[in-house]
Chains A and B, each alone.
Chain A
Amino acid sequence: MSLDLAQETFPALTEPRRVGARRSVRIPKRIDAVIVAFLAVAVGVVDASGLTRWPGFNGDEGIYTSQSWSVLHGSIEAYTYSYDHPFLGWAMMAPFEWLAETLGITGTGMAVLDARAVMVLLAVADAALLYGVACRLGFRRVVAAFTVLAWGWSPLTVSFARQVYLDNIALPFLLGALYLALDPARRQWFYVGAGAVFAVGVLSKETTLLYLPVLLYIVVQRTAGQVRVMAIASMATCSVAIIFLYPLFALLRGEFFPGSGHVSLWSEQIWAQLFSRAGSGSLWNVASSRFQLVDSWFHLDWWLPIAGLTGAVLMTAVARMRPIVVAVAISVAVVVKSSGYLPGMYIISVLPFLALCLGAVLNWLGGPAGAGKRRVTPRRVAAFTAVVALAVAMTPEYASGIRREATVNLVGPAEMADQYAISHIPHNANVLVDPIFYVDLIHHGFRHQWRGAIAYYQYDLDPESLTKLPGGWRDLDYLLVTPAMRDQISGKSVALPRTAAAIAHSRVVAVFGRGAQQVQVRKIIHSPSDTASVPKASS
């Protein structure tokens, strides 16, 4: 691959532009709006069909759903805010919860599924922004559209995009920041805007900060001289100043530095993230949770990761694509090299960059856009063939993945347990729950926090728990036990002795689902007579 060809396809980066001068990046036209509308529908429909069935609930989804409910009702979260993540992400979900409550659609299904619908809206926004980013990177329309579909229709993307994760909330801000930073006119205040939007992404999910070098690289690459100095200074300052409002918030609450009797940003977030959280092991150890996680990603889709990584290697030759390559490199480094905890949803922010690298190769194959009178050149035929061949090769994998994710029901047991709890458990009972049930019980008249619905994680770890529920399992009446909860009790990373004791002092009154998917409704054995009754089983 020669650099000349690359420059020919992706024109030089830094020459000043005048109004009316030939641009290397097209001005958006009506056709772009049509394409974006099509992509939004294409991605939205695939994401939406089956979001109530696939994938199975992760406890984090319940946590963020219940926290957005809490924000709407006056506090950052239902329990002591532990600085595990900045709160802007779920705070921004609160207006949607408000909308749902105002429209009266709460309580009809699970609140977590309502929150998943919000995630689909965000994925639609991602699709539009990704198309914009691709166009500003010099992609032809057809290639940009292919890029968005390769991302949005990947079974890996679909599965994660539906889940209520902070990464999904941060992603549109990350893509929005890139879109602004790629402003064709290289305007300083668009860079400032990019910095501000990026800061919102970081305050939604702190790992977004990993991509700061990408943003800086784009601006350095596209500016020169005094304009560059001013652009970097103003963008970085705006971004950092907004991000620092978060530690300032902790400082105001007297919770920045560690101290006795309160949580602190320092010990829960900075120290924990950097040093003490249990690691995921080495990628090269097949038994490690890191290997299993990466394996599970590839199990959902190996096309996009492999094609994207290949593209990233090839695109190191193209100056304009190098910031995106850097983004992929940072992501890979975190997956391969870091020794710390690697969460599953980490892949969410990586996937658009992989798709961009794949698209960039196809764009490069097509040669310079709009050059020459001959519409059909051997190069374009080759590029077109490559797109078609790739599409044909990827289709079976994507199609079967999408079909599986649209039809297989992994949510059913939890949904049935939810309905059972609402209709069978007395509403004045204390129920220890996986947070995915938390808001539903509230919507159906249960109290919450330390009476009524009680989230199991905080029951064990919140400093207030011991004083609010000093009797341990004796203060409880029922438990809603999900697979995630059982995994956590048997796992080694966090000890949850109070939850384990509650399970040990309870009996099953109803089970939903089979094997590993099983969700149990359990009743605390307060007196010997409680053991006498026969467990009532349900499908």
Chain B
Amino acid sequence: MFDFVTHLWIANVAISLPMVAFSLANLYWSTYAWHSPVTHEETTSSPARNDVHQHTFSVIVPLREEPIEVVGATIAKILAQTHPAVQPVCSVGYDDPDTLAVVRRLMDLYPGRITLAVSQSDVRNKPTQLNAALAACTGDVVGILDAESLSAPGLLSQIDATLQDPEIGVVQGGVMIVNHRASWVALRSSLEYYANHRSKMHFAAAHHFMLMGGNTVFFRRSLLDEVGGWDPEMLTEDAEIGVRLSVLGHDVRVAYQPHLVSREEAPTTIRSWVKQRTRWNLGFMQTIRKGVWRQLPTAGRRRFARWLLWQPSIMAISGVIIPLGVVVALFAPSPLWATMIAFLPAVPTVMLVVLDATMLYLFGREIGEKVRLIDYLLLVVTTPIYQLMSAYAAARAAVKYLLGDLRWEKTAHTGSHIEDIIDLTVYDRVAS
């Protein structure tokens, strides 16, 4: 007795309230750092003293087809740490002769200071390289810095101070995207990293379950040995090792301080962004399927873990469903109350756009750069495109997952954030 239009608007109403709930949940954890003066203080504070060093560090830099400018800058920053006991470990695949040559040049430049670990695995991905490098690490704390990320000089001293609390086994440091002027995609990415490191990660850590990032993370060596290193099957090995550590009861401390963040570059094109995002979505799906999270001790934590792992996909899908719902509400004849309910998801959507702009403002303040009007406009105007991209990446991940295509799609590093920081002529001097 119901015709198609009736089915359509009933479905639309039925779906709109869950959409409101998901969107509000997303806003809620995105803004955790500003929930109250207490959470703001807790997410900003740090150990008072960081000049007493108790730990030795090995910092793994996984490399794959990297130009020398990129690697050189990263290594130089590691060697310039105020912490005295730092061992950079460059991890390179045996089948990547160009990068091997790059590292050898740097080893000549800094004699005796850089360790080279060559992965003999035929599987070309980051976890195999990390595991290969782990064997060469001598420090009692093992960290990871991505090939293109520039660490702040005081970072390791701060991590050392944080790890002097015996309760803490893992520290997730802050990462900030600094090529936000490169394109609107990079602007979006930098805002997302900011929300993630400034706020969401703290929220997750407070709930004892966290999907860590793969950059600027530090582990006690003993914990890595306990869990047996990284899972080479995983596309998001960084998040997955966090799951295993959570199951063993090791909490992660999130250390975010604007002056200690690692500076990194984000994808600047839609194509590379979609690749990166597909890999993340696919990695989370793998992690869900692997099922280690089911061993979490309480039902509440398992529920939280499930939500956290599904969250990116749900948000991506809702980014398309909400506008579709509004269109249906506009054009499918339906009772007034139904139309009004169908419009409710517009409220959190408007909030999302405004809070994104607010976070951009705060981000600009923290990096000491004034956000231009054009940046705000870009952010607002590109919202629909961005939501389509997210949905596309989620759908692409789902298709790849179903087809069993779990190859590693590497994000290219252009080094666009480096030029003004390091003097490139140094390499030519060494070469000559």
Residues of A within 8 A of B (CB): 14-19, 76, 185-189, 223-227, 229-231, 233-234, 237-238, 241-242, 245, 248-249, 252
Q: In whole angstroms, what is the CA distance A524 to B362 when docked?
A: 72
* B115 interfacial by beta-carbon distance below 8 Å: no
Residues 38-60 of B at the A interface (beta carbon under 8 Å)? 38, 40-41
6 closest Cβ pairs, A-B complex? A16-B37, A230-B34, A233-B358, A237-B354, A241-B347, A241-B350
Q: Within the complex, which residue of B34, B343, B344, B355 is in contact with A227, where a contact is CB–CB below 8 Å?
A: B34
Q: In whole angstroms, what is the CA distance A185 to B36 when docked?
A: 7
Would B36 and A229 count as touching, CB distance under 8 A?
no
* B292 interfacial by beta-carbon distance below 8 Å: no
A63 to B: closest C-beta gap in Å: 20
Contacts of B87 in A (CB 8 A): none
21 contacts across the A-B interface (CB closer than 8 A): A15-B37, A16-B36, A16-B38, A18-B38, A76-B336, A185-B36, A187-B36, A188-B31, A189-B35, A226-B33, A226-B362, A227-B37, A229-B34, A230-B355, A234-B351, A234-B354, A234-B358, A237-B355, A245-B340, A245-B347, A248-B343
Contacts of A223 in B (CB 8 A): 37
* B28 interfacial by beta-carbon distance below 8 Å: yes
Residues of B within 8 A of A (CB): 27-28, 31, 33-38, 40-41, 330, 336, 339-340, 343-344, 346-347, 350-351, 354-355, 357-358, 361-362, 365
Q: In whole angstroms, what is the CA distance A322 to B343 when docked?
A: 37
A239 to B: closest C-beta gap in Å: 10
Would A233 and B354 count as touching, CB distance under 8 A?
yes
Contacts of B358 in A (CB 8 A): 229-230, 233-234
Contacts of A241 in B (CB 8 A): 346-347, 350-351
Contacts of B41 in A (CB 8 A): 16
**A238-B330 contact given A16-B41, A227-B37, A233-B355, CB 8 Å threshold:** no
Would A17 and B34 count as touching, CB distance under 8 A?
no
Contacts of B347 in A (CB 8 A): 238, 241-242, 245
B329 closest partner in A (C-beta): A252
**A234-B31 contact given A223-B37, A252-B330, CB 8 Å threshold:** yes
Would A234 and B38 count as touching, CB distance under 8 A?
no
Q: Within the complex, which residue of B40, B354, B357 is in contact with A16, where a contact is CB–CB below 8 Å?
A: B40
Q: In whole angstroms, what is the CA distance A469 to B343 when docked?
A: 37
Contacts of A226 in B (CB 8 A): 33-34, 40, 362, 365
Contacts of A187 in B (CB 8 A): 35-36
Would A185 and B362 count as touching, CB distance under 8 A?
no
B361 closest partner in A (C-beta): A229
Would A17 and B35 count as touching, CB distance under 8 A?
no
Would A252 and B351 count as touching, CB distance under 8 A?
no
Contacts of B40 in A (CB 8 A): 16, 225-227
Contacts of A249 in B (CB 8 A): 336, 340
A76 closest partner in B (C-beta): B336
B330 closest partner in A (C-beta): A252
Interface of A is mostly: helix
Q: In whole angstroms, what is the CA distance A271 to B340 when docked?
A: 25
Q: In whole angstroms, what is the CA distance A224 to B343 when docked?
A: 34
Q: In whole angstroms, what is the CA distance A186 to B358 when docked?
A: 19
Contacts of A242 in B (CB 8 A): 347
Would B339 and A17 count as touching, CB distance under 8 A?
no
Contacts of A230 in B (CB 8 A): 31, 34, 355, 358, 362
B358 closest partner in A (C-beta): A233
A75 to B: closest C-beta gap in Å: 9
Contacts of A185 in B (CB 8 A): 36, 38
B202 to A: closest C-beta gap in Å: 14
**A231-B38 contact given A241-B350, A245-B340, A245-B343, CB 8 Å threshold:** no
Would A227 and B36 count as touching, CB distance under 8 A?
yes
Q: In whole angstroms, what is the CA distance A186 to B38 when docked?
A: 9
B39 to A: closest C-beta gap in Å: 9
Contacts of A234 in B (CB 8 A): 27, 31, 351, 354-355, 358
B199 closest partner in A (C-beta): A230
Q: In whole angstroms, what is the CA distance A231 to B36 when docked?
A: 9
B382 to A: closest C-beta gap in Å: 19
Q: In whole angstroms, what is the CA distance A110 to B365 when docked?
A: 62
Contacts of B31 in A (CB 8 A): 188, 230, 234
Contacts of A18 in B (CB 8 A): 38
B154 to A: closest C-beta gap in Å: 22
B145 to A: closest C-beta gap in Å: 28
Contacts of A238 in B (CB 8 A): 347, 351
Q: In whole angstroms, what is the CA distance A227 to B41 when docked?
A: 10
Would B362 and A229 count as touching, CB distance under 8 A?
yes
Would A231 and B34 count as touching, CB distance under 8 A?
yes
User: What 16 new A-B contacts, CB under 8 Å, besides A227-B37, A238-B351?
Assistant: A16-B40, A185-B36, A185-B38, A187-B36, A223-B37, A230-B31, A231-B34, A233-B355, A234-B31, A237-B351, A241-B346, A241-B350, A241-B351, A245-B344, A248-B343, A249-B336
Would A237 and B350 count as touching, CB distance under 8 A?
yes
Q: Within the complex, which residue of A188, A237, A245 is in contact with B34, where a contact is CB–CB below 8 Å?
A: A188
Would B362 and A17 count as touching, CB distance under 8 A?
no
Q: In whole angstroms, what is the CA distance A249 to B337 when docked?
A: 10
B354 to A: closest C-beta gap in Å: 4
B344 closest partner in A (C-beta): A245
Q: In whole angstroms, what is the CA distance A231 to B41 when docked?
A: 15
Q: In whole angstroms, what is the CA distance A248 to B361 when docked?
A: 29
B266 to A: closest C-beta gap in Å: 23
Contacts of B34 in A (CB 8 A): 188, 226-227, 229-231
Would B36 and A188 count as touching, CB distance under 8 A?
yes
Contacts of B351 in A (CB 8 A): 234, 237-238, 241
Q: In whole angstroms, what is the CA distance A420 to B181 when docked?
A: 79
Would A17 and B28 count as touching, CB distance under 8 A?
no
A68 to B: closest C-beta gap in Å: 15
A183 closest partner in B (C-beta): B36
Contacts of B37 in A (CB 8 A): 14-17, 186, 223-224, 227
A256 to B: closest C-beta gap in Å: 14
Q: Within the complex, which residue of A15, A19, A188, A233 is in contact with B35, where a contact is CB–CB below 8 Å?
A: A188
Contacts of A14 in B (CB 8 A): 37
Q: In whole angstroms, what is the CA distance A18 to B343 when docked?
A: 39
Contacts of B344 in A (CB 8 A): 245
